[in-house]
Amino acid sequence: MTNFRIGFGYDMHRLTEGRELWMGGIKLDFEKGLQGHSDADVLIHTICDALLGAANLRDIGFHFPDTSEEFSGVDSKVLLERTVALLRKKGFEIGNVDATICAEVPKMNPHIPQMQQKLSEVMGVNIDSISIKATTSEKMGFVGRQEGITAYAVALIYKF
């Protein structure tokens, strides 16, 4: 009997001057970056939460608290690698991830194939198992005012 589980993740970070913009494990050329304790890669944080939620392992803040110096400025790919290790320790494998980035700027679509490649490498899954989409908020709310970026993800995990 196969055990399938689905998890959902959501995250948001403020755009700010003086920071690099990391999204999906790659650095984007943009004049602002996302504010956060780590590199603030909102897409990876969202995927971590979706995976952790599916495995009933709480959330990213529980495992990698923003009060810990160990995670200050950390590359979010490290958090994703550790998340995948937690899942596999519990006997789960990743079926697929479906994520959406919501940003007015910069345009995300040109970078999606590179993000998919990087995430597939970090997670040890086929690139076809990672779907990333991009949208805007039609100039509404804090994303529409170019104050921040949000991301959403669902993940399917399984064990036999």
User: Does 138 belong to an annotated binding site?
Assistant: yes
User: Does 100 belong to an annotated binding site?
Assistant: no
User: Does 160 belong to an annotated binding site?
Assistant: no
User: Does 44 belong to an annotated binding site?
Assistant: no
User: Does 37 belong to an annotated binding site?
Assistant: yes
User: Does 136 belong to an annotated binding site?
Assistant: yes
Closest CA to 10 of 40, 49, 38, 64: 49
User: Does 111 belong to an annotated binding site?
Assistant: no
- The answer to whether the beta carbons of residues 140 and 53 sit under 8 Å apart is no
User: Does 135 belong to an annotated binding site?
Assistant: yes
User: Does 59 belong to an annotated binding site?
Assistant: yes
User: Does 45 belong to an annotated binding site?
Assistant: yes
User: Does 60 belong to an annotated binding site?
Assistant: yes
User: Does 129 belong to an annotated binding site?
Assistant: no
- The answer to whether the beta carbons of residues 157 and 2 sit under 8 Å apart is no
CB burial readout 96-131, b (16+ within 10 A) else e: ebbbbbbbbebebeebbeebbebbbebbebeeebbe
Residue 37 CB-density burial (10 A; 0-12 exposed, 13-18 middle, 19+ buried): middle
Q: Which residues are annotated as a binding site?
A: 11-13, 37-38, 45, 59-61, 135-138, 142, 145
Q: Which residues are annotated as a binding site for a divalent metal cation?
A: 11, 13, 45
